[in-house]
Amino acid sequence: MLKNVKLFMLTGVMIFLLIFSFIAAKTGWNFIQLKDPSTAHQILEAQGKSGNEDFDYAPVEEELVNPTFFSLMRELSDPEYAYGEESYLEAYAGHDARSEFQKKNFGLHMIAGSACLITGFFQFWPAFRRKNRKIHRVMGVLYVISAFTLGISSWIYLGNAGFETTFDSLAGNWALYILSSTEMLAICIAGFFLLRRQYAAHMGWMAISLGAFLTAPWQRYDWLMLSWLDTGQTFAMINGVVNTVLFTQGYFTAYWVMVMNRQSSPLNKTYNFEGFSLFAKTSVFSVTAIAVIATFVFYIGSNGIYGSELVGQSINFDLWDREQQIILADFSFLYPLFITLTLVMTTLSAYMMLNYRLHDGLAYLLGGVAIVIGLIELNWGVKIGYPTQYLSSGGSHYIGWSFLHIVFGILLIAGRYLRWNLLQVEWTMILWVLSLSMASLPLIASVSSLFEVFPKIYVDGGQSAILIVGGIMQGLVIIAIAVATHGPATKARNVH
């Protein structure tokens, strides 16, 4: 039964990736051929702004470089959402003004991305990889070439766009800088471990690179689902919501790809985990102490971080009015409870890591704390709702963290109940990493203020806040995967 479920899930993922890759490759090819959709853009924009549902859109949509996706978005929502004010078309039409070189470079970027997704799926299909070693190596080379082509084309695009656009478009082009740099760096690290024949670490870092590529299909899927739900928001606002949790979706998927591959590998009978090294324990203790001190310094007070002048130099809290109203509501006990439980999660998970197997029963408590934290975040996320302005994450930031805390809290409880000792250790480590989010926000914002990382215009506009909030979520999830990659649950398997 379990085998059939895994096969069904793999087949579903494969179909999804193949369909998306085909659409992306076709779109990329249209860009390379310099297909001119500018007239179609003007017609669709005029019809969309008028909300004309009787117009025959299909023939005009065929003139677009990406007709399938636009048509599907219109069918799931309405013409005004797809083609009107603050629509996907409004953002996409910006490609009309690009040079021929820029269009061809963008087309190459999309085709390379499609190649990464298709080859990446087969690279992480355990049965296929083990039965076809030579093909695995050849596809691995294609994957790396495609990945660097994609990354370099992103940098070429950003260079042509100009550094002055770095903080534009919500999270800004910085998101592309970070994403492309992350995937190429992860592949280089994976190559280092491959040369050292440390195949488990190699697989883990390759999974991180795959997570970067998975942001593209996840983004389109989110766009379509939210357009279908008819939220009453414009595409521009929906895009702000999606981009806040997008990286978490991609890297969380990559983590489970890594786990699926790892757990299907035979046990390493020579490995026996007796606890963490002195260096690891010292690191955990030091980071935990910093997190606890930062929490007391920045959060204990009537307005928490919202009253910190130093943090306010990098984050414009005037844009977070609704968030403050919800979280700091009069007579609300959730805010102090949230701070207290986060401190408990940080210190308790650290204590369990420092004292392996001495207090395993605390896993139930830690998992329960994580779930309650997640429920509080879910409550805040729902109440905050969609952003009140373009440069805001709205409640999506809290929804993302809620998902992570609840899922790993449940996994930890299940791991303890089923006596999956090493997985219990791994999920304890992950919860410890995730618990650092609350302390990371004021620390990173304060350092950014001291070194004047963000120009004032981008602080006032809200771009800096989006970058800090999104960067913390993305960074901690990547760190959590890296910790799992080099953790005892991975070392206990002979990954090949």
Q: What is the pLDDT of residue 337?
A: 94
The mean pLDDT of 197-224, rounded to a whole number, is: 93
The fraction of the chain above a pLDDT of 90, given in percent, is: 60
**Does residue 170 register a pLDDT over 50?**
no
| Residue 106 located in a structural domain | no
Q: Are 61 and 82 in contact (CB under 8 A)?
A: no
Instruction: Give the pLDDT confidence of 96-112 residue by residue, as tens digits.
Output: 888 899 899 999 999 99
| Residue 137 located in a structural domain | no
Q: What is the pLDDT of residue 480?
A: 97
Q: What is the pLDDT of residue 177?
A: 78
pTM of the complete model: 0.93
Q: What is the pLDDT of residue 302?
A: 60
SS3 category, 78 = coil
Output DSSP code: residue 288: H
**Tokens representing residue 199 in the block:** 């195949």
The chain-wide mean pLDDT, for the chain, equals 89
Task: Quote the CA–CA distance of 312 and 333 in Å, as a whole number.
Answer: 24
Looking at the DSSP bridge assignments, the partners of residue 493 are: 267
Domain of residue 457, residue span: 278-491
| Residue 93 located in a structural domain | no
Q: Into how many domains does the chain fold?
A: 1
| Residue 151 located in a structural domain | no
Instruction: Give the pLDDT confidence of 417-430 residue by residue, as tens digits.
Output: 999 999 999 999 99
Instruction: Give the pLDDT confidence of 231-274 residue by residue, as tens digits.
Output: 888 888 888 788 888 888 999 999 998 998 898 899 998 899 99
Instruction: Give the pLDDT confidence of 171-188 residue by residue, as tens digits.
Output: 456 777 788 999 999 999
| Residue 25 located in a structural domain | no
| Residue 239 located in a structural domain | no
Instruction: Give the pLDDT confidence of 352-402 residue by residue, as tens digits.
Output: 999 987 778 899 999 999 999 999 999 999 999 887 776 677 888 899 999
Task: Quote the CA–CA distance of 339 and 342 in Å, as a whole number.
Answer: 5
Q: What is the pLDDT of residue 85?
A: 87
Q: For residue 74, give the nearest of 237, 235, 198 by alpha carbon.
A: 235
- Which residues, 6+ apart, have CB-to-CB distance to 143 below 8 Å? 115, 116, 119, 120, 123
| Residue 474 located in a structural domain | yes
Burial of 487 (0-12, 13-18, 19+ CB in 10 A): buried
Q: What is the pLDDT of residue 394?
A: 83
Instruction: Give the pLDDT confidence of 6-36 residue by residue, as tens digits.
Output: 566 666 777 778 888 999 999 999 999 999 8
| Residue 88 located in a structural domain | no
**Does residue 60 register a pLDDT over 90?**
yes
Q: What is the pLDDT of residue 390?
A: 65
Q: What is the pLDDT of residue 339?
A: 94
Q: What is the pLDDT of residue 171?
A: 44
In degrees rounded to 5, what are phi and psi of residue 195? -65, -30
